[in-house]
Structure 1
Amino acid sequence: MQRICLFPGTFDPVTLGHTDIIDRALPLFDELVIGIGINSSKVPMFTVEQRVEWIREIYKHEPRIKVASYEGLTVNFCKEIKARFILRGIRYVSDFEYEKAIADINRKLEHEVETIFLTCSPEYSTIASTLVRDVIRYKGDAAQFLPDVVANSINLKPSI
């Protein structure tokens, strides 16, 4: 049986913190699906299409990584893509408390799906998409928090 894992999030934008978790999780699974959740109560800075394109470009040479967008319950999307695992990145203890509550609910809804937590590498622990969006919005140097593909596409770095 294939070990398929869903890494859900908004990825608005994709940061080096996200790619750190993805890169380190990849050896654990046969397939890693980056699931861009669409939340009708949030207004993203970047379109779903742009976020999908970034992830596809970043991982264009890694066939085990797929990307898709979805609406609704994450566990329902897991069933749809046959994922038995949900991956969540943890920066701080407070993240764990929040994520554990979600994992517990998901487990009650779908007992076959396990949540796996990976702590981010220390150099990325302060990177949060919310903060990066503020840096971008107010014309700060956000390129240091983003993969080159993302920084280049929003004109934060000159193209080489």
Structure 2
Amino acid sequence: MASVAVYPGSFDPVTNGHVDIIERSAKVFNKVIVAVLHNRNKDPLFSVEERVAMLQDSIKDIPNVEIDAFNGLLIDYVRHKNAKTIVRGLRAVSDFEYEMQAASINRKLDPDVETFFMMTNNQYSYLSSSIVKEVAKYEANVDGLVPSFVAQSLYEKYSPFSSS
């Protein structure tokens, strides 16, 4: 039986920590769908289309990874994709409480879907999209935190000459 997993997130922007989780998940599952959430509770820097494009460029060499976008409940999306696993990355203990609640409600909504937690690589344990945006906003170097084309996109968004 082929195993399909969904790795959801806002990915605003994708970081090297996200890429690490994607690469490692692709070694565990036959297919990984990286699903960009359009979260109405957040005001993203990048559009869903930009985030999808950045992710596609980030994982172009991993054949068993697909990039998609969705609205609504994650569990409905997972069912729609015939997946049985949700992948979530954990950076620190502080992530665990939120992720445990999300996994519990998803399990309540569909007992056949499991949540697979992956600890982030230690070199990315401090890294989040929010921190990357904050650093880039003040024109500090984000090399090594995000793929190079994502860094360029961040600098363009925050440039005083940008039309965004």
Same fold by TM-score greater than 0.5: yes
Paired AA for residue 127 in structure 1: L
Deviation at 1:75, TM superposition (A): 0.5
The corresponding residue for 2:160 is none
The corresponding residue for 1:2 is 2
* d(CA) in 1 for partners of 2:53, 2:148: 13
Deviation at 1:63, TM superposition (A): 2.0
Q: 1:1-56: per-residue Cα shift (whole Å, max 9, x none)?
A: 21000000000000011011111111110100000011112110011111111111
SS in 2 for 1:143: coil
Deviation at 1:62, TM superposition (A): 1.9
- Please list, as runs of the form range in 1=range in 2, the aligned pairs for 1:9-48 lying within 5 A after superposition: 9-48=9-48
The corresponding residue for 2:107 is 107
The corresponding residue for 1:94 is 94
* d(CA) in 2 for partners of 1:5, 1:137: 34
* d(CA) in 2 for partners of 1:11, 1:28: 21
Deviation at 1:57, TM superposition (A): 1.3
Unaligned runs of 5+ in 2: 157-164
Residue-pair matches, total: 156
Deviation at 1:155, TM superposition (A): 4.6
Displaced runs of 4 or more, over 2 A: 152-156
* d(CA) in 1 for partners of 2:132, 2:59: 21
Deviation at 1:150, TM superposition (A): 1.3
Whether contact under 8 Å (2:19, 2:59) holds in the other structure is: no
TM value normalised by structure 2:
0.90
* d(CA) in 2 for partners of 1:14, 1:4: 21
Unaligned runs of 5+ in 1: none
- Please list, as runs of the form range in 1=range in 2, the aligned pairs for 1:133-144 lying within 5 A after superposition: 133-144=133-144
TM value normalised by structure 1:
0.92
Whether contact under 8 Å (2:38, 2:70) holds in the other structure is: yes
* d(CA) in 2 for partners of 1:60, 1:21: 15
The corresponding residue for 1:124 is 124
* d(CA) in 1 for partners of 2:46, 2:70: 16
More displaced stretch, 116-125 vs 57-66? 57-66
Paired AA for residue 94 in structure 1: S
Q: Indicate the RMSD between aligned Cα atoms, in angstroms.
A: 1.3
